[in-house]
Amino acid sequence: MSQTLTGIAASAGIAIGKAFSLEMPDLTVEKQSNVNTDQEIQAFDDALETSKSELEKIKEKTKRDLGDEHAEIFSAHLLVLSDPEFVDTIRNKVKDENINASFALKEVADQFVTMFESMDNDYMKERAADIRDVSTRVLAHVLGKPIPTLTEIDEEVVIIADDLTPSDTAQLNKQFVKGFVTNIGGRTSHSAIMARSMEIPAVVGTKTVTDDIIKDVIVIVDGLEGAVLIDPSEDELAAYREKQNQYEEQKKEWAKLVHEPTKTKDGEHVELVANIGTPNDLDGMKNNGAEGVGLYRTEFLYMGRDDFPTEDEQYEAYKKVIEEMDGKPVVIRTLDIGGDKELPYLDLPEEMNPFLGFRAIRLCLEKDDMFRTQLRALLRASSYGNLKIMFPMIATLDEFRQAKAILEEEKEKLVAQEVKVSDDIEVGIMVEIPSTAVMAKQFAKEVDFFSIGTNDLIQYTMAADRMNEQVSYLYQPYNPAILNLVKMVIDASHAEGKWTGMCGEMAGDEIAIPLLLGLGLDEFSMSATSVLPARSQISKLTKEETKAAAEKALTMNTAEEVKQYVEEMFIK
Ligand code: PEP
Ligand code: MG
């Protein structure tokens, strides 16, 4: 019997496929004595071989998709499995103590991990992580409960998981992964944002999807409505195939606007640009007709690897994007790590409230070398087009001044070395923290532009963690509190002759768009897949009617009231 779950519609589209559960199997082991040691050693050796061939495959695939550097980690894993000191110790333990291989493996791996972790040397600490990773893989094979691995998927599936980290999401192969469903997460969690840029339908925050899945069962993901159907009937399958076709037809209609300018019904141009995570997203944004890059989240360059990207690697990535955009604006945000985006090699202490903690610009101002390396890479790339640099999570004017001063210092050094640097790079900030929105008048005198990051601005204004589905009802972009903050920022920038964009998810939201237009937002930056629907919507709106609607919405009492009003006026 089919079962329907509801969650948060995280990425539009309909996906139908076999469930592929990413749940970790239970790998607890118990000691057994008086075993057949030959058999145990054979089981261990078999598991070792299977693990090696899996790792070879993953390594090759990573090399193909992400390059040599990312594949290095798997070479390190393979080395562990060929190290006689490690594998012979396990075999000897089985023989000498007459115990089961899984227990011997676990004990030896734990000893090695503890030993390496206690060494005062970062390289050795990383080896501890490698040993932990590979021994879990081998143990799973000894126990006959293999660990699901994303890179190994080679048939059409829907991923089912408690959560997907941004680096899990980056590994998804669009050819086979048709959609995904998670227990936790919200519309603005980074795996949801990445699903949208990869155009993979997704529903997050279902709370219980992992409880209800049996292997290979068919799952329908309705990323338009936020519904998940498990083991659907023939009728349901037919209905959703029809819905899938309709959505594809709608997309074809939108696609006709790909080379059109974005204009309101009364002829005013609106800047419609896209958010990207890596240079690989450029194709998607061009295919969707974006007029530039409004937010390049550079942190993805730092993720899924075991050391910092070098200045040259960063320079190449930034240059590629700037060059390919051929004079169109490219807003690159400096490293915004922290919150739900972790960097294991940064080795930061666990925090009680990572979203309120040591992240983004706070971390960059402290880790001066890391920050300067990124700024130099950006400055060197600036001469290839129209770069604008943006600092994330600015809470005080002092933070902005410090960041800008470091940028100026690096620029002067490069110029002194006769490195070509553009002399009209705009420098702006993200407005994500309420204090900054409230102080927008003062900021507007010093910055070149604002870009409102509503994903964070809403979580901080409403005090509601964007990752927590229990409080996702407080993600209220239409709440008059948010609209008033947005207005303050836009008005403050205009009073100083500056511009304001928005790169949070709100910028691509069909209820929010008429209001933002009415408030005078200059630039809308969104997931690439939202660009064409937004262009189509904007072409049917006039400045005058949206201005009147926005003024009215600012005085309303609740988000729901605003939503109903906009729906009546502009949607239905
Ligand atoms: C935001 O906070 O709105 C934003 C665009 O930044 P991120 O989603 O990367 O935190
Ligand atoms: Mg943010």
Query: Ligand 1 pocket, 54 CB below 6 A?
Result: no
Atom of ligand 1 nearest to the CA of 452: 3
Closest residue by CA, ligand 1 atom 6: 453
Query: Ligand 1 pocket, 297 CB below 6 A?
Result: yes
Pick 37-142's CATH classification: 1.10.1040.10, 3.20.20.140, 1.10.274.10, 3.90.1150.10. Answer: 1.10.274.10
If DSSP codes are grouped into helix, strand and coil, which group holds residue 390?
Answer: strand
Residues forming the active site: 190, 503
pTM to 2 decimal places: 0.78
Ranges 303-312, 368-377, 386-395, 404-413: which has the least confidence: 303-312
Summarised one tens digit per residue, pLDDT across range 138-176 is: 999 999 887 787 777 888 999 999 888 766 776 778 889
Span from the CA of 505 to the centroid of ligand 1 (angstroms): 8
Structure tokens at 43: 């089981």
Give the E-state strand segments of 164-317 in sequence order: 177-182, 202-204, 218-222, 227-230, 271-276, 293-297
Span from the CA of 33 to the centroid of ligand 1 (angstroms): 55
Ranges 34-38, 60-64, 352-356, 410-414: which has the least confidence: 60-64
- Residue 392 φ/ψ, nearest 5 degrees: -90, 155
List the one residue out of 426, 479, 433, 422 whose CA is nearest residue 456.
433
Summarised one tens digit per residue, pLDDT across range 380-395 is: 999 999 999 999 999 9
Span from the CA of 458 to the centroid of ligand 2 (angstroms): 10
The Cα-based distances of 193 to 35, 37, 134, 164 in angstroms read 51, 51, 30, 12
- Residue 75 φ/ψ, nearest 5 degrees: -65, -40
Query: Ligand 1 pocket, 453 CB below 6 A?
Result: yes
pLDDT given at position 223:
96
Span from the CA of 453 to the centroid of ligand 1 (angstroms): 5
User: Given a cut of 70, is residue 192 above it in pLDDT?
Assistant: yes
If DSSP codes are grouped into helix, strand and coil, which group holds residue 387?
Answer: strand
Is residue 101 within 8 Å of residue 40, measured between CB atoms?
yes
* Virtual torsion, Cα 130, 131, 135, 137, nearest 10 deg: 0
Q: Which helix (H) or strand (E) holds 160?
A: strand 157-161
What mean pLDDT is reported for the chain? Answer: 92
Task: Give the span between the Cα atoms of 330 and 142, in whole angstroms.
Answer: 51
Is residue 204 within 8 Å of residue 5, measured between CB atoms?
no
Is residue 407 within 8 Å of residue 351, measured between CB atoms?
no
Query: Ligand 1 pocket, 336 CB below 6 A?
Result: yes
Structure tokens at 221: 């993901």
Ranges 32-36, 161-165, 296-300, 496-500: which has the least confidence: 161-165
Atom of ligand 1 nearest to the CA of 503: 5
pLDDT given at position 146:
79
If DSSP codes are grouped into helix, strand and coil, which group holds residue 57?
Answer: helix
Domain 266-570: homologous superfamily in CATH: Phosphoenolpyruvate-binding domains (3.20.20.60)
Ligand closest in space to the Cα of 393: 2
List the one residue out of 431, 2, 419, 448 whose CA is nearest residue 240.
2
CATH class held by domain 3-22+150-233:
alpha beta
Is residue 94 within 8 Å of residue 44, measured between CB atoms?
yes
Summarised one tens digit per residue, pLDDT across range 256-277 is: 999 999 999 999 999 999 999 8
User: Given a cut of 70, is residue 520 above it in pLDDT?
Assistant: yes
Closest residue by CA, ligand 1 atom 4: 453
Ligand closest in space to the Cα of 192: 1
Closest residue by CA, ligand 1 atom 9: 297
Span from the CA of 339 to the centroid of ligand 1 (angstroms): 11
Checking 245-251 for CB contacts under 8 A at 24+ apart, the result is: 247/12, 247/13, 247/14, 251/532
- Mean pLDDT of all residues in 420-444: 98
Q: What is the residue extent of each domain of the chain? A: 3-22+150-233, 37-142, 266-570
Ligand closest in space to the Cα of 451: 1
